[in-house]
Structure 1
Amino acid sequence: MGMSPALRNSIIAALGTGAVSIATVMVSGKTGLEGREHYPYKDVVGIVTVCDGHTGSDIVWGKYYSDKECDALTRKDMTRIAAQVDPHIKVHTTETQRAAIYSFAYNVGATATINSTLLKKLNAKDYDGACSELKQWVYAGGKKWKGLMNRRDVEYEVCTWSQK
């Protein structure tokens, strides 16, 4: 499936605004990778979640979250992820490479990202190898998920954007 035209256009519009902004666009809103939910729900493992995958004790069960509130939560979450991951990126990256890594970390968690082969390859300046590692992360509960495959395809495309 890959990237929808709407998501591609949103990402193109965000180029030059920084990796956090690009990654936020990648995961948020109607066209984003997370799928926006305006009311809190329990995810597959029972974690209370809202908007574009926001979790935490600040969620008010039963409350309607507006697009503006969701945008703010996602940006805050992405900024936190970037702050956790950035100290572990030891090499120069392009804005889009870093955005892809943030989107990935937003999905799998900062710790998994920091300990990943993806980051080892990146820090060894194997940029192609690092971007390719994204495609390994398509399993949940021991089976391949189409949703994760699509997500990684988009992240891979963004990761390799500047190299085309």
Structure 2
Amino acid sequence: MQTSNNGINLIKQFEGIRLTAYQDSVGVWTIGYGHTGADVRSGLTISQNQAEQLLRTDLGRFETGVGQLVTVPLNQNQFDALVSFSYNLGLGNLKSSTLLRLLNNKDYNGAAGQFPLWDKAGGQVLAGLHKRRLAEQALFETAPATVAA
């Protein structure tokens, strides 16, 4: 599966865009739409097009990871919510989460209830993270629109 425009827009909304590298709330160098890695350092600047390309490249890694970790069927909205969650928190956190354990045991409602619990950075609840988790939870719980034949 690939992230839909709804999922990409959710990620963009909460990540925001910064074309100059900055340190996030826990000190990680970040640029574009939340891109991190060894290539991001103080003083780095990129263009809007480069930010879009970094996002697309990063999404591929998270889409693959979610696809490998989840063993039950997902609809597009559930997949998008999990990609957004992983994009923000990392695949390692998804892998070790109760959210994933419940989901892979086919407890979709229980898994949905786990999203709001992931609203801390550096041990502190952050309002922005809380809003993001609620938005991911709402997307996860939303049935995809059906198209009339």
Q: TM-score range by the shorter chain?
A: 0.7 to 0.9
CA RMSD of aligned residues (A): 2.1
1:83-98 aligned within 5 A? 83-98=64-79
Alignment CA distance shift 1:112-1:63 (3 Å) = closer
- Give the equivalent residue in structure 1 for 2:107: 126
Retained in 2: the 8 A contact 1:35–1:52? yes
Alignment CA distance shift 1:33-1:136 (3 Å) = same
**What stretches of structure 1 of length at least 5 have no aligned partner?**
1-16
Shift of 1:88: 1.5
Match of 2:33 among 42, 52, 58: 52
Aligned residues: 145
Retained in 1: the 8 A contact 2:25–2:121? no
Retained in 2: the 8 A contact 1:23–1:78? no
Retained in 2: the 8 A contact 1:121–1:129? yes
Shift of 1:163: 7.5
| TM-score, structure 2 as length reference | 0.87
How far apart, in 1, do the equivalents of 2:81 and 2:41 lie?
30
- Give the equivalent residue in structure 1 for 2:122: 141
| TM-score, structure 1 as length reference | 0.79
How far apart, in 2, do the equivalents of 1:41 and 1:162 lie?
37
